[in-house]
Amino acid sequence: MRHLLSAFLLLLCLPSIQAQNEPWKGKFEPIDNMIAPPNTYRTASGAPGKDYWQQCANYHIKVLLNEKNNTISGEETITYFNNSPDDLSYLWLQLEQNVNKKGNEDFGTFNNNVKDSISARQMQFLTRAIDFPAGYSIKMVKDASGNNLKTMVNNTMMKVKLNTILKSGESTGFSIAWSYPITDRSMYLLSREGYEYFPEDGNTVYLIAHWFPRMAVYNDTEGWQNQQFQKLGEFALEFGDYHVEITVPDDHIVASTGTLQNSEEVLTKAQRSRLETARKTFDKPIMIITKEEAQANEKTKAIKQKTWKFNATNVRDFAFASSRKFLWDAQAVKLPTNTVMGMSFYPKEGLPVWQEESTKAVTQALEVYSEATFDYPYPVAISVNTSNIGMEFPMISFNGGRPKNGKISDAAKQDMIGTIIHEVGHNWFPMIVSSDERKWMWMDEGLNTFLHQRTLAERYPDFNSTTPKSIVPFMNGDKNILRPIMTTSDSELLNQFGANFYMKPTVGLQMLRNSIIGTELFDEAFKEYANRWKYKHPNPSDLFRTLEDATATDLDWFYRGWFFTTDHVDMELSNVKWFKVFEEDSNIEDKNKNKKVKIAATEKNDDEQANGFSNGPEVITMTNTPDTAYGEFLSRLDDKEVRKQLSGKNIYEVTIKNVGGLVMPVTIEWVFTDGTTETDRLPAEIWRTNEYEVKKTFIKAKEVSKVNLDPNFEFADTDVNNNSFPKVENQSEFDAFKNKKKGK
């Protein structure tokens, strides 16, 4: 052990391994000090522990949508179950509608520069020149006995002070009456809900979300999750059962979370019959409300009202859409363990593409996501057409993408279908695998985008999709302003959050699946994570640990670099040396007579790189192994057999530098002089003893004309111009080579 230790100490002193006075970066050190330690609530394997707990909140809600003055008013009774080990003297509820309330704390705008020729809408975002009413009016908060409860509102959070301590293991009930003005979605940025007005026919589509005071999460890692809603970071919510009665104008159609309880009261006989047909139709959507019926509906506005009743079990939120403009189609989707109804609601302005593509996209998402995780457990999955932004809720999503005068470009159609798949996919992350969106946006957006991209690759292969190459411009950005993935949601810069919370985690998971762990093993581990944490609240550490636990793969080096730093991948193929072993009986000496090539130990200069392999191999001799090399071992290597195995072979010593700082596996493509190719794959662990430069020796029967690193762009290398030997002079040359290789 002493001799081995001495050898390692000698290696550590080499300048090529660690520059003097440079701090040790520890790219392969465990990340234990960077994530929460395991405990009885969350185990070291990444699974919920034996003492894991979470709270529960059940809701009974009656709500009225007033179309004349665009308001929502309602009453709700919440039954809150304290499953924590703690006694609670107060509760926190979310009041997201207050984020736009005049006079409330201003969290800053997302477009804060005034410039010449600024549009009126942009100026409205900046100044709120045309004011609009917003925010809750809380009319009463009472306990189960009818006694008033004291409250304190801090912007988007409301503290309810209990009259009696809520003991561990007990529950409490209380009621709230409230109202708020529904906001015009065109009036402000990131409008996830509100109304959209259609001047042509004078009608409105209402997208009602974040509409009732909701329980904040209380958990084992931070107590109350009562961060203010700042528009970017979304929601952390508890699971529960919902009984909701929605009163709307008599001619409105309601799409909602949950199962409709009184179809005979709100649907016509024809609509109910069509819906029953749709429940048995698996190959195409059935129209429940046709274009002609929707257009007839638009012409008159009902004075009477009717109430739609919905129940939803074990969901973390509730949303609905309401309008007399809706067309409605539905189709049954058969999954291995259950049958789901895929549905779409859209105004005539969505035709024809929404009728052709929306429910089809819902079906594709349900099938691929179910296969990748667990079967979709809810009875319906609904896509509602809206303008601009897409937004997700349990069983229902609001999705942008709309033709103009009945026509839509291929790019816009792809965006629309991608949005539908993405928002339906959010049913898994975070609606069931319920991570904290307000703190870790990447845990839902990144994981969901990963499966969204997988769905596109499998079901829409002609569509553009995210690959490791997609993230290169972002990874190659200014390190002074870039932030790591492990940044809380509202702390991310607006011009980065799409790349950092959606694309970069997606690419990271693609690398793990396709190039680091392997498809079969990764898919099993990802499914393990989803099933461990469905209907629960995972943290980043739970994901990190589960992927390692279920694959027997040390991934701390990957997590450290990809999630916790802004390092990028830039591997440089700095040199390739070509050798052949001298043999007396061979013709090597004749072939290289009087011109043994002496290659310096240092790297070739640019001229020499350009020459590549044209100077031929360096012919080297291989001596017999001295007995002293074996130490106390009595057995001996057959030196002649080694010579025999190397006879006529080509030996290539490859030198690779880590320029970008992010360690990754190494893929080497060999292009032989006869035009054939071969690929070698080296694990990331080759960088363990030297994080800055590695050398690796290969034996090839054929002579090599070119060597390429990362030939299939698997690792988001930011500079492909230094990935080849002989050196590629420009990007166009590299692209031409790649296109030729792919047969383009």
What is the per-residue pLDDT across 59-79, written as a single tens digit (0 to 9) for each?
999 999 999 999 999 999 999
Residue 120 gets the label, from left (phi > 0), alpha (psi -120 to 50) or beta, of alpha
Cα–Cα distance, 156 to 231 (Å, whole number): 11
- 612, 537 in Cβ contact below 8 A? no
Q: Is the peptide bond before 430 cis (omega within 30 degrees of 0)?
A: yes
What is the SS3 assignment for 579? strand
CB atoms within 10 A of CB 637: 12
Give the whole-angstrom CA distance, residue 239 versus residue 488.
Answer: 23
pLDDT per position as a tens digit, 307-346:
999 999 999 999 999 999 999 999 999 999 999 999 999 9
Q: What is the mean pLDDT of residues 410-421?
A: 97
Residue whose pair of structure tokens reads 């894991």 in the numeric block: 52
Burial bucket for residue 389 (CB in 10 Å: 0-12, 13-18, 19+): middle
Q: What is the DSSP string of 701-738?
A: SSPEEEEEESTT--S-BS-GGGSEESPP-SHHHHHHHH
User: Which residues lie closer than 8 Å to 286 by C-beta, 6 or more apart?
Assistant: 274, 275, 277, 278, 329, 330, 331
Strands across the sheet with 618-620, in order? Answer: 618-620, 571-581, 650-658, 693-700
Task: Identify the pLDDT of residue 232.
Answer: 83
Instruction: Report whether pLDDT(233) > 90.
Output: no
Q: Which residues contact 192 (CB under 8 A, 6 or more apart)?
A: 209, 210, 389, 391, 398
| Cβ density class 96-108: b for 16+ within 10 Å, e for less | bbbbbbeebeeee
Q: Which comes out higher in pLDDT, residue 446 or 595?
A: 446
| CA dihedral sign of residues 530, 533, 535, 538 | negative
Distance (Å, rounded) from C-alpha 517 to C-alpha 553?
A: 7
| CATH for the stretch 23-42+441-567 | 1.10.390.10
Residue 483 has φ and ψ, to the nearest 5°, of -125, 150
More confident residue, 514 or 734: 514
pLDDT band, residue 610 (cuts 50/70/90) = low
| Whether 500 contacts 487, CB under 8 Å | yes
- Does residue 685 carry a pLDDT above 90? yes
Q: Which residues are CB-neighbours of 642 under 8 A, at least 6 positions away?
A: 622
CB of 372 within 8 A of CB of 523?
A: yes
Cis, peptide link before residue 181, omega less than 30° from 0: no
- Predicted confidence at residue 379, as pLDDT, reads 98
Q: At what angle do helices 519-533 and 353-372 cross, to 10 degrees?
A: 90
The mean predicted confidence, pLDDT, of the chain is 90
Question: What pLDDT does residue 111 have?
Answer: 60
Q: Structural domain boundaries of the chain?
A: 23-42+441-567, 56-434, 571-741
Which pLDDT value is given to residue 588? 43
Question: DSSP 3-state helix, strand, coil percentages of the chain (rounded to 5)?
Answer: 30, 30, 45
Q: How many Cβ atoms from other residues are within 10 Å of residue 493's Cβ?
A: 12
In this prediction, residue 612 carries a pLDDT of 80
Alpha-carbon 507 to chain mean position: 9
* Mean pLDDT, range 261-284, rounded to an integer: 98
Please state which CATH number belongs to domain 56-434: 2.60.40.1730
The stretch 590-618 carries a mean pLDDT of 54
Interacting residues of 443 by C-beta distance below 8 A, sequence separation 6+: 429, 430, 435, 436, 437, 538, 540, 543
pLDDT of residue 3: 42
SS (H, E, C) 229-255: CCCCCCCCCCEEEEEEEEEEECCCEEE
Q: Give the model confidence (pLDDT) of 508-536 as tens digits.
A: 999 999 999 999 999 999 999 999 999 99
- pLDDT, residue 192, reads 81
In angstroms, the CA 650 to CA 652 distance is 6
Least confident segment among 27-31, 448-452, 518-522: 27-31
Query: What is the spatial distance between Cα 390 and Cα 402, in angstroms, rounded to a whole number?
Result: 12
Confidence at residue 187, expressed as pLDDT on a 0 to 100 scale: 79
Query: Quick one: pLDDT band at residue 50, thresholds 50, 70, 90?
Result: very high
Please tell me the distance from the alpha carbon of residue 509 to that of residue 453, in angstroms, as a whole number: 11
Residue 128 has pLDDT above 60, yes or no: yes
More confident residue, 192 or 209: 209
Copy the structure tokens of residue 434: 């319920």
Whether 420 and 358 have beta carbons less than 8 Å apart is answered as yes
pLDDT band at 497 (very low <50, low <70, confident <90, very high): confident
Q: What is the mean pLDDT of residues 239-247?
A: 98
Pairing, β 194-198 against β 203-208: antiparallel
pLDDT value at residue 489: 86
- Cβ–Cβ under 8 Å, residues 484 and 565: yes
- 259-260 vs 327-334, strand pairing mode: unpaired
| pLDDT, average across residues 149-159 | 97
- 149 and 142 Cβ atoms separated by less than 8 Å: yes
Q: Poorest-confidence range of 6-15, 282-291, 399-408?
A: 6-15
Q: What is the pLDDT of residue 26?
A: 84
**CA nearest neighbour of 690 among 41, 83, 27:** 27
* pLDDT band (50, 70, 90) for residue 352: very high
Spatial contact of 197 and 184, defined as CB atoms under 8 Å apart: yes
Q: Is the pLDDT of residue 433 over 50?
A: yes
Check residue 738 and give its pLDDT.
52
Q: Is the pLDDT of residue 242 over 80?
A: yes
Does pLDDT of 656 surpass 60? Answer: yes
**If you average pLDDT over each of 105-114, 119-128, 541-550, which comes out highest?**
541-550
Query: According to the model, what pLDDT value does residue 2 have?
Result: 44
Q: pLDDT at residue 390 above 60? A: yes
Residue 36 DSSP symbol = P
What is the reported pLDDT for 732? 59
String of b and e for 427-446 (b: at least 16 CB within 10 Å)? bbbbbbbbbbbbbbbbbbbb
Q: Does residue 742 have a pLDDT over 50?
A: no
Q: At 575, list the tokens.
A: 């040199």
CB 231 within 8 A of CB 96: no
